[in-house]
Chain A
Amino acid sequence: MTQNANAPVVTLTEAAKHFGAVRALDGVDLSVAPGDCVGLVGHNGAGKSTLVNLINGSFAPSSGQVAFPGGAAGVRSVFQELSLCPNLTVAENLRISHPGLKGPGWRRPARAEICAALDAVFPGHGIAADAEVDTLSIAERQMVEIAIGFAPRGGQARLVILDEPTSALDAGIADQLLAHVKRFCAQGGAVIFISHMLGEIFEVATRIVVLKDGRIVAERPAAGFTRQGLVDAMGHVATEEAAREAESRPPPGAVVIAAEGIEARRGEIVGLSGLAGHGQAAALARLYLSQSSDWRAGRAPRAVFVAGDRPRDGVLPLWSILRNITASILPRDARRGMVDRDRERTVAEEWKRRIGIRTDDLSNPILSLSGGNQQKVLFARALASDAPVVVMDDPMRGVDVGTKQDVYAMIRAEAAAGRTFLWYSTETEEVCQCDRVFVFRNHAISAELAGDQITEERILQASFEMQEAS
C-alpha cells in the first residue's frame, strides 16, 4: 500500500511521558497517514500502552506534541482489557460511545448500526444486538468491542488503534479481523495494530515500529524485517554478569515444589517469565496459596510472599516500618500470645542493616519511605521468616537500579543458604538471574530453560507466537 499524499491523521513530535522518575515514553516521533497500517511491537513496559494513551488522549504528553492535522474526531481505540459495560446489551453499549443516538426510538438505529458493523468485520458472527454483554463469551465481547471501534458512530472511523485485538479470538475470527483491517486501510483508514503474534503483524502491517524502553528503535516497511530481525530489535543482548553469576552456585537439592508443571528444588531460583497477562501471575498465586492456605499453618509457614503491587497486597499503610517488617514473624516470636517488643525490634534492626533500609527511625510510618525502600521492607518481612519457599510477584516494580543490585545479591545469598525462590517478573534482566525459567504463553508453559539457555533471545522466542497467524 502506498502512502497517500493526504495529511497524516496523527503526528507525534518528540512526545514523552514521565511518571515520576519513570520514563514510560522518552521522545517518540511517529506519523500515521490515511491508508497506513502500523504494526507496533515491543516487550512489556516498552511504552506501547503509554503511546496508545497519548494518541487517544487519555494522557497529555509530559513534553513534545501530539497533533491531529485533521482534528481528533474519528480516532478510536479498542483496548486490550475488555471495556464494555457487561450489564448493557450490545446495542446499548454502542449508545455509550455514540452520543448522537438520541430521542425516542434510538434503539432501532443503534441495533442497525451495530449489526452492520459486526457484519462488516465478522461476517456470520451470530451475535444478537439485544444480547446482554455478560451473556456473551469473551471472544464475542472482544468482537463487539472491535465492531464498535470500526462503527461509524455519527462520523467515520479514521484511525483505529487495536491493542492485542486477537488475544481472545480464535484463528478463523482473527483472520476475519485481519482481512477487515486490510480493507479498511485500502479505503483510506489508518490502523495501529499492536500484537504479540508476529505472524499477524507481518500479515497486515505496512510499516512496523519497534519500541524499546520508551523509544522507537526501528521503523521500517514490513518487508524490511524478518521475524528473527524483529525479535532481535525488541530485545538487547543478554547481560554478561547474569551468565557469570550462574556458575558459582551449589548444585540444587531435593524438589520442594512440584505443581502446575513447575518444579523447584531446594536452593534454586526459579523464574516465571513471558508476556504480561499470559497466566504467570495466576499460576504464582495458585502455587503460593496451595503452600500457605491452611488453618493449621501455625508458626512455621511453608512459603512467604513478596508483593509487587505494594499498595494492593504489600504494605500496611497505617503501620510503622518496624511493624511492617515483623508482621510475618509475630507468631514465631510471641511469648504466650503476646508480642515480644524487644525481640521484634532486634529483628527489625538487624534486617534494616542487612538490607539497607534508608531511615533514621524504624518507628516512622512506612509511607515515609520511597518505593524502592518500601519494597526492601517487604523483602525483609519475607526473609525474616523461616519459610523455605519465597514467592515473589514481580517484586522490582518501580525499584531503582541500585536497590535491584542489592536485592539480587541478597536473593543469591539466601538461595545459597538453602531457600527456594519462585520469581515472577516481567523484566527479562531479572529473569536472567534465575537458575531455571518457565516461559508462559496463553496460560500454559511454552518453554523450560535452564542455565546457559536463559537468554533474552530464547525467552522472547518462547513468549511470542513464531508461527504464521493462521
Chain B
Amino acid sequence: MSFLARHRIVLPVVSLAVLLALTFWMQPRAMSYFGLNLLFNLAVPIALATIAQMMIIMVNDIDLSVGAFVSLVACVTATFLNDAPLLGLLILAALILSYAAMGAVIHALALPAIVVTLGMSFVWGGLALFILPTPGGAAPGWLRTLMTVKPPVMPMAVVAAILIAAVTHLLVIRSGIGTVLRGVGGNSRSVARAGWNVTALKALAYGLAGLFGVLAGMALVGLTTSADANIALRYTLLSIAGVILGGGEFTGGKVSPTGAVIGALTLTLAASFLSFMRLSPDWQIGAQGAILILVLTARLVFARRGGAA
C-alpha cells in the first residue's frame, strides 16, 4: 500500500473514475461531448473556488469566507463589470488586495484564520446584498462567450479543468515560490529562519486565494448569466471538501492542485449521479456527504495500512 501513500493522487483519480463509470452505466447518453459539458459545466467555478481554498489550507489556515466572497464577486461581475468594465476591474483588484491584507493581518496579529474569515464572510455577504439586493444583473458578453465556447474534441468544462490543474500545478508544486509557500505550511519557523518574511508569504497565499476566488465568481456568472447575493454560499464547504477529497490535508502544507480540481469534479458529479438515481433532492445533500465520508474512509484505511507496512 506504500504505492498509494507515495502517490496521493491515485485515490482521487480512482474515485472520479468509479463515479464516472457508474454515471455512464446509468445514463449512457451522458457519454458525449454535450453530456460531459452538461455534467461538468458547473464544476469550473467550483474547481476555481477549491483552488482558492487550497491556497489557504496550504499555509495551515482555513477560509470560511470563500462562498460569500465568490457571491460578492459574482454580484460585482454581473453589475459593475458589465456596466463600467474599468470600475469593475478596479473593484475586483481591490477585493484581491483586501484578501492579501487579510492574510497579512491574520499572521501579523496571530489571529485564528477561522474566526477572521468567518467574520469577513459577513462583510462580503453584506457588500453583495448592498450591490445586488435582488437577484439580477447580466453577464458581460465576452464572459458569456468564453464560458460557452465549444472547443474541438473536448468540451469547455473538461478543457478548463485541465487548464486550471496544469497552471496551478506549475504555480504551487513546480515553481520556487510555490515551494516556499508550501514550506510555510510545513514548518513556518524554518522558513522564517531562512530569512523569508512569513507575513509577506501569507499575504501572497491569501492574495492568490483572492485571485482564484475572483476567477470563480466570474466563471459562475459566465455560466448563469445573472447573479444573486447568495449564489455561491455552499462553495465554502464544497471547496473544503474538494481539497480534502483531492488528497490534501488540513495541516502541514500537504496539498495537491490536480487533486483539488479532481475533487471538485467528483463533488459536482456526485450531485448529478444522485439525480440520475432519481433520489429526491431532499436526500441528495446527505447522500453527497455519505460519498465524501466513503472516500475519506478509504483514504484513511490505505494510509493506516501504508503506515503499518
- Enumerate chain A interface residues (CB-CB to B < 8 A): 56, 58, 77, 79, 83-88, 92-93, 95-97, 99, 101-103, 106-107, 135
**Interchain CB contact under 8 A, A96 and B194:** yes
- CB under 8 Å from chain A, chain B span 61-85: none
8 further contact pairs, Cβ within 8 A, besides A83-B190, A84-B187, A88-B179: A83-B187, A85-B190, A85-B191, A86-B187, A87-B183, A95-B176, A96-B179, A97-B194
Q: Contacts A96-B190, A96-B194, A97-B194 known; A85 to B182 CB distance under 8 Å?
A: yes
Q: Once the chains bind, are B182 and A83 in contact (CB under 8 Å)?
A: no
User: Does B234 sit within 8 A of A, measured CB to CB?
Assistant: no
Is B185 a contact partner of A87 (Cβ separation < 8 A)? yes
Which residues in window 248-273 of B have CB below 8 A to A?
A: 252-254
Interface centre among B185, B191, B193, B254 (most CB of A within 10 A): B193
B180 x A87 contact (CB < 8 A) = no
Judge whether B126 is part of the interface by a CB distance below 8 angstroms. Answer: no
Complex Cα gap A93–B190 (Å): 10
A88 to B189, CA, bound (A): 14
Could you say which residues of chain B place their CB within 8 Å of the CB of A85? Answer: 182-183, 186-187, 190-191, 253
Q: Tell me how far the C-beta of A100 lies from the nearest C-beta in chain B, rounded to whole angstroms.
A: 10
The chain B residue with its CB closest to the CB of A153 is B194
> Which residue on chain B has the smallest CB distance to residue A100?
B176
User: A85-B253, A86-B252, A87-B252 given as contacts; is B189 within 8 A of A96 (CB)?
Assistant: no
Please provide the chain B residues from 181 to 216 with a CB less than 8 Å away from any CB of chain A in the complex: 182-183, 185-187, 189-191, 193-196
Does B186 contact A86, Cβ atoms closer than 8 Å? yes
Across the interface, do B183 and A88 meet the contact criterion of CB distance under 8 Å?
Answer: yes
> How far apart are the CA atoms of A371 and B252 in the complex, in Å?
34
Q: B253 — which chain A residues lie within 8 A by C-beta?
A: 85, 87-88
From B6, B186, B194, B195, contact of A88 by CB (8 A)? B186
A95 touches B186 (CB 8 A): no
Cα A58 to Cα B179 with chains together (Å):
23
Query: In the docked arrangement, what's the CA distance between A102 and B179, Å?
Result: 11
Please indicate which of the listed interface residues A83, A88, A95 has the most CB atoms of chain B within 10 Å of its own CB. A88
Query: What CA separation (Å) do A58 and B192 show in the bound complex?
Result: 10
**Size band of the interface chain B makes with A:** 20 to 34
Of all chain B residues, which has the CB nearest A99?
B195
Tell me whether A83 and B193 are in contact in the complex, defined as CB-CB below 8 angstroms, given that A95-B176, A101-B176 are known contacts. Answer: yes
A156 to B190, CA, bound (A): 20
Shortest beta-carbon distance from B166 to chain A in Å: 14
Separation in Å of the B275 CB from the closest CB of chain A? 38
Nearest A residue to B6 via CB reads A135
CB-nearest residue of chain B to A101:
B176
A56 to B6, CA, bound (A): 36
Q: How far does the alpha carbon of A58 sit from the alpha carbon of B182 in the complex, in Å?
A: 23
Least CB distance from A249 to B in Å reads: 46
Within the complex, the shortest CB–CB distance from B303 to chain A, in Å, comes to 12
**Across-interface contacts of A102 in B (CB, < 8 A):** 176
In the complex formed, the residue of A with least CB distance to B193 is: A83
Whether the pair B191, A96 counts as a contact (CB closer than 8 A) is yes
Complex Cα–Cα for A101 and B174 (A): 12
Are B179 and A84 touching (Cβ within 8 A)? no
> Total A-B residue pairs with C-beta atoms closer than 8 Å?
56
Residues of A within 8 A of B6 (CB): 135
Residues of chain A within 8 A of B182, CB atoms compared:
85, 87-88, 92
Q: How far is the CA of A65 from the CA of B179 in the complex (A)?
A: 36
Bound complex: CA A87 to CA B8 (Å) = 13
Would you list 14 pairs from A and B whose C-beta atoms are within 8 A, ordered by A residue? A56-B193, A58-B193, A83-B187, A83-B190, A85-B187, A85-B190, A87-B252, A88-B253, A92-B182, A92-B183, A93-B183, A97-B194, A99-B195, A106-B176
A424 CA / B234 CA spacing, docked (Å): 52
> Which residues of B in the span 109-140 have a Cβ within 8 Å of any Cβ on A?
none
Chain A residue with Cβ nearest B189: A83
The distance in angstroms between the C-alpha atoms of A95 and B190, with both chains bound, is 12
Interface centre among A97, A101, A106 (most CB of B within 10 A): A97
Report the bound CA distance from A106 to B174 in whole Å: 9
A88 to B178, CA, bound (A): 11
- Chain A residues within an 8 Å CB radius of B186: 85-88
Chain A, Cβ-Cβ closest to B253: A87
Nearest opposing residue in chain A for B188, CB measure: A85
B212 CB to closest chain A CB, in angstroms? Answer: 21
Tell me, in angstroms, the Cα distance from A470 to B252 when the chains sit together: 37
Partner of B180, one of A56, A83, A86, A95: A95
**Complex: how many Å from CA A316 to CA B185?**
30
Q: How far is the CA of A411 from the CA of B179 in the complex (A)?
A: 53
A97 cross-chain contacts in B, Cβ below 8 A: 193-195
Contacts of B194 in A (CB 8 A): 96-97
Residues from chain A with a CB closer than 8 A to the CB of B254 are: 87
Complex A-B, nearest 5 residue pairs according to Cβ-Cβ distance, in ascending order:
A85-B186, A97-B194, A87-B186, A83-B190, A85-B183
Looking at the assembled complex, report how far the CB atom of A413 sits from the nearest CB atom of chain B, in whole angstroms.
42
> Which residues of the partner chain B approach A83 to less than 8 Å between Cβ atoms?
187, 189-190, 193
Q: Which residues of A contact B196 (CB under 8 A)?
A: 96
In this complex, what residue of A is CB-closest to B177? A102
Bound Cα distance from A350 to B6, whole angstroms = 61
Closest Cβ of chain A to B190, distance in Å, is: 4
**Cα distance, A58 to B189, chains bound together (Å):** 11
Instruction: Report A-chain residues with C-beta under 8 Å of the C-beta of B176.
Output: 95, 101-103, 106
Could you say which of A58, A93, A107 has the most chain B C-beta atoms within 10 Å of its C-beta?
A: A93
The chain A residue sitting closest to B191, CB to CB, is A96
In whole angstroms, how far apart are the Cα atoms of A96 and B182 in the complex? 10
Do B180 and A96 touch (CB < 8 A)? yes
Q: Taking each of B179, B180, B182, B254, which has the highest tally of chain A beta carbons within 10 Å of its own beta carbon?
A: B179
CB neighbours (8 Å) of B183 from chain A are: 85, 87-88, 92-93, 96
State the CA gap A440–B194 with chains docked (Å): 34
A101–B182 Cα gap in the complex (Å)? 16
Contact with A along B122-165 (1 / 0, CB 8 A): 00000000000000000000000000000000000000000000
B-chain residues with CB within 8 Å of residue A101 when the two chains form the complex: 176
Whole-angstrom distance from the CB of B173 to the nearest CB of chain A? 10
In angstroms, Cα B180 to Cα A247, docked, is 61
B193: shortest Cβ distance to chain A, in Å? 6
Of A93, A96, A97, A107, the most chain B CB neighbours within 10 A belong to A96
Whole-angstrom CA separation of A84 from B189 in the bound complex: 9
When distances are taken between beta carbons in the complex, the residues of chain B under 8 Å from A58 are 193
* Residues A92 and B179 in contact, CB atoms below 8 Å apart: yes
- How far apart are A275's CB and chain B's nearest CB, in angstroms? 23
User: How far apart sit A79 and B189, CA to CA, in the bound complex (Å)?
Assistant: 12
What residues of B have a CB within 8 angstroms of the CB of A84 in the complex? 187, 190
